[in-house]
């Protein structure tokens, strides 16, 4: 179990915010922190990894105390078994793939781990390449492999896939799940993509103004189980168009744009960019072989 009990005054874009957070994460779980920008998600993860010092509180991981303001304990980032993957990869541009991984090795650590990770991440053929010559998906695989060099117990993924196109995202989502299982990690993801969250995580914590306001199992959290409708997808509203007495709403689902007719009463509640569910009964769709 990871137990966070933290207080920290933060300067955010909207002024001062007091982060006051109690968060318990089970070992081996894949959890997501969800919430608006500035809710305190990244600050929480930076405190867990030792990059930001809380004003007060405790961080306990299993039997170990990583931080305690009362007992004056504050482990250095390199003493905490945390791997951190950022949205912008944060690779060293002057080093090739292998060197980026080797840089993360601790003194006296066996370099066999590098071979294993290069192989697992399918980076063997790319090991001499510099980051600038790699695609976004390849860079993120390097960043992920580097985060695993020190055999972390906790893997932190701060919007790791949001810069990638959908096809690559889906591929890397599967890869993240594989990594989580293979290395028996406790993984903490920050993501805004509901489909991604539901696919990857066991449970979700929603943060608002520095506190947890809601938590639950991923599928229950977004109300996915709350109707008998079996044909359901989440997507983003692209267009809202009046047609006769109705509206036609265009929704981006995965790579496809679908169109749904909507009564004005419901269409009035929608705005372009809104995340929506589209649902229908299993009895309605037709199915044809392509």
Q: Tokens standing for 65?
A: 């105390």
- Pick between residue 95 and residue 240 the one whose CB is nearest to another protein: 240
Contact assessment for residue 26 and residue 1, using Cβ atoms and an 8 Å cutoff = yes
Q: Tokens standing for 66?
A: 């990583």
- Pick between residue 213 and residue 282 the one whose CB is nearest to another protein: 282
40: left (phi over 0), alpha (psi -120 to 50) or beta: left
Contact assessment for residue 212 and residue 206, using Cβ atoms and an 8 Å cutoff = yes
Q: Which of 229, 254, 268, 272 binds another protein (CB under 8 A)?
A: 229
- Pick between residue 92 and residue 231 the one whose CB is nearest to another protein: 231
Contact assessment for residue 78 and residue 87, using Cβ atoms and an 8 Å cutoff = no
- Pick between residue 213 and residue 261 the one whose CB is nearest to another protein: 261
Q: Which of 70, 107, 283, 289 binds another protein (CB under 8 A)?
A: 283
Size of the site for another protein (CB under 8 A): 17
Contact assessment for residue 67 and residue 74, using Cβ atoms and an 8 Å cutoff = yes
Kindly state the smallest distance separating residue 254's Cβ from another protein, in Å. 23
Q: Which of 52, 177, 224, 279 binds another protein (CB under 8 A)?
A: 279
Q: Which stretch binds another protein (CB under 8 A): 117-125, 188-196, 199-207, 224-232?
A: 224-232
Contact assessment for residue 158 and residue 86, using Cβ atoms and an 8 Å cutoff = yes
* CA-wise closest residue to 198 among 277, 274, 121, 257: 277
Q: Which stretch binds another protein (CB under 8 A): 17-25, 44-52, 133-141, 256-264?
A: 256-264
- Pick between residue 84 and residue 221 the one whose CB is nearest to another protein: 221
268 is a site residue for another protein (CB under 8 A): no
187: left (phi over 0), alpha (psi -120 to 50) or beta: beta
Could you give the string, one character per residue 236-255, with x where binding to another protein holds by CB under 8 A and - elsewhere? --------xxx---------
132 is a site residue for another protein (CB under 8 A): no
Q: Which of 167, 178, 182, 230 binds another protein (CB under 8 A)?
A: 230
Give phi and psi for 21, each to the nearest 5. -135, 130
Kindly state the smallest distance separating residue 280's Cβ from another protein, in Å. 8
- Pick between residue 261 and residue 272 the one whose CB is nearest to another protein: 261
DSSP string, 170-183: HHHHHHHHHHHHHT
Instruction: Give the helix/strand (H/E) hosting 120.
Output: helix 112-120
217 is a site residue for another protein (CB under 8 A): no
Q: Which of 26, 27, 214, 281 binds another protein (CB under 8 A)?
A: 281
User: DSSP label at 136?
Assistant: H
Contact assessment for residue 226 and residue 266, using Cβ atoms and an 8 Å cutoff = no
The residues binding another protein (CB under 8 A) are: 226-230, 244-246, 261, 263-265, 279, 281-284
């Amino acid at each position: 179990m990871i137990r966070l009990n933290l207080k920290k005054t933060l300067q955010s874009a909207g002024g001062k915010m007091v982060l006051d957070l109690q968060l318990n994460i089970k070992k081996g779980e894949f959890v997501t922190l969800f919430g608006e920008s500035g809710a305190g998600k990244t600050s929480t993860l930076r405190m867990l990894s030792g990059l930001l010092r809380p004003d007060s509180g405790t961080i306990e991981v299993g039997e170990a105390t990583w931080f305690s303001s009362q007992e004056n304990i504050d482990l250095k980032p390199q003493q905490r078994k945390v791997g951190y993957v950022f949205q912008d990869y944060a690779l060293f541009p002057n080093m090739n793939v292998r060197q980026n991984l080797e840089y993360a090795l601790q003194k006296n650590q066996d370099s066999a781990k590098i071979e294993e990770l290069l192989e697992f991440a399918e980076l063997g053929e790319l090991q001499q390449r510099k980051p600038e010559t790699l695609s976004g998906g390849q860079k993120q695989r390097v960043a992920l492999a580097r985060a695993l060099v020190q055999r972390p117990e906790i893997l932190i993924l701060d919007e790791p896939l949001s810069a990638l196109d959908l096809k690559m995202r889906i591929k890397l989502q599967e890869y993240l799940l594989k990594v989580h299982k293979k290395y028996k990690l406790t993984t903490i993801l920050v993501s805004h993509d509901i489909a991604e969250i539901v696919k990857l995580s066991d449970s979700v914590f929603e943060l608002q103004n520095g506190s947890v306001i809601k938590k639950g199992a991923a599928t229950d959290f977004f109300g996915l189980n709350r109707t008998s409708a079996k044909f359901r997808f989440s997507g983003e509203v692209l267009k809202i168009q009046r047609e006769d007495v109705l509206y036609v709403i265009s929704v981006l689902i995965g790579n496809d744009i679908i169109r749904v007719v909507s009564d004005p009463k419901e269409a009035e509640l929608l705005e372009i960019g809104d995340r929506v569910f589209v649902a229908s009964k299993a009895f309605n769709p037709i199915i044809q072989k392509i």
